[in-house]
Structure formats: structure tokens, C-alpha cells
């Protein structure tokens, strides 16, 4: 898969949403997805966990899929395998979710699927194809080091950048 680029405006718009589904959250309390869930909650986001195999996360009801969430969410952060991502973006479109972030960190594949990215774009959905949300949150601690090096090497999203 070729390099997917996204503008900083799309990232900022996603993070401006206050009600976000976190799809693919783990049942393991020490998993990165749960840590990210906790951090977003701490920052004032209304984060809705989604995993069909987990009844609740940290006392919050966990939904089977995004269509089940009421009231609906404004955006969805996907921490799924690429194959699952391809199904979840269809669910997001059916649920009216127009903003999707496909998580990726450290150059690993993460949730990104070229087919899912194409689906989102074909259906008028804003998509962040890769990136770790921590890098774009104010005062993100050690993640700021990653941000610095990504800016230094020209791999950090810029305002006005377009998808490749």
C-alpha cells in the first residue's frame, strides 16, 4: 500500500468532535486501546467503547457495533485489524458517521486498509488513514518526541496537505 497522507485540518476536525466511538477496544486493561480510551475520557471526550465480545470497559457499556450506539457518535476511532476495518467503515457509513480514524503507530499496519480508505473517500467520509491520536493531543508527554522527529523528517501532516 502506498503512503497515505492526510491534512492536519482533517485530524483537527476529528479531534474537535466530542463524542467518539473507539472500535476494537480490548478486554485487557493494560492494552494500549484501553489506555487511549482512558486518556481521551480524561480530556473530556465522551468515548463509547465498541467490541462485540466485551460487555463493558471501565464501567462503561461496550456496544456490539456502531449502529447500536444511541445517541449516535460524531466520529469513530478504529483499532481493528485491516480486514475488520473494511467491515467497520461500512457500518460507520450506515450509522451516519462521517469521520473515521484508522489507528496506526510506529510504522506498523494498524487498522489501515487501502480498500477501507477508498470506501470512506467514495462515500464522502473524512478519513485519517494511520497516525496515533496521542501525537496530536496537547501535552502528550513522550509522544511529543515522535511528533518532533516526524516534523523533522517531513512525515508529519501539514495544513492544506492532500491525500496521496
The model's pLDDT over 46-69, given as tens digits with 9 standing for 90+, comes to 999 999 999 999 999 999 999 999
CA torsion through residues 88, 99, 144, 40, sign: negative
Q: What was the pLDDT predicted at 138?
A: 76
The answer, yes or no, to whether residue 7 has pLDDT greater than 90, is no
3 in a structural domain: no
Q: What rounded mean pLDDT belongs to the chain?
A: 85
* pLDDT tens digits along 115-135: 999 999 999 999 999 888 988
Whole-prediction pTM: 0.83
User: What percent of the chain shows pLDDT beyond 90?
Assistant: 69
Residue 23 · residue 76 · CB < 8 Å? yes
Number of domains the chain contains: 1
Q: What was the pLDDT predicted at 146?
A: 45
Residue 100 · residue 86 · CB < 8 Å? no
Task: Give the CATH number of the domain where residue 66 resides.
Answer: 3.40.50.720
Show the domain range for 14: 8-152
DSSP assignment letter at 151 = H
6 backbone dihedrals φ, ψ, rounded to 5° = -140, 150
Amino acid at each position: 500500500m502506498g503512503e497515505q497522507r492526510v491534512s492536519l485540518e482533517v485530524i483537527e476536525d476529528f479531534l474537535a468532535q466530542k463524542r467518539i466511538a473507539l472500535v476494537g477496544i480490548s478486554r485487557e486493561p493494560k492494552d494500549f486501546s484501553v489506555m487511549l480510551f482512558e486518556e481521551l475520557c480524561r480530556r473530556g471526550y465522551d468515548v463509547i467503547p465498541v467490541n462485540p465480545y466485551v460487555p463493558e470497559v471501565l464501567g462503561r457499556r461496550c456496544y456490539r457495533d456502531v449502529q447500536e450506539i444511541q445517541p449516535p457518535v460524531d466520529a469513530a476511532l478504529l483499532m481493528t485489524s485491516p480486514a475488520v476495518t473494511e467491515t467497520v467503515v461500512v457500518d460507520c457509513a450506515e450509522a451516519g458517521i462521517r469521520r473515521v480514524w484508522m489507528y496506526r503507530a510506529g510504522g506498523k499496519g494498524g487498522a489501515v486498509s487501502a480498500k477501507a480508505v477508498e470506501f470512506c473517500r467514495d462515500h464522502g467520509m473524512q478519513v485519517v488513514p494511520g497516525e496515533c491520536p496521542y501525537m496530536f493531543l496537547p501535552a502528550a508527554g513522550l509522544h511529543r518526541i515522535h511528533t518532533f522527529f516526524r516534523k523533522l523528517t517531513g512525515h508529519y501532516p501539514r495544513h492544506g496537505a492532500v491525500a496521496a
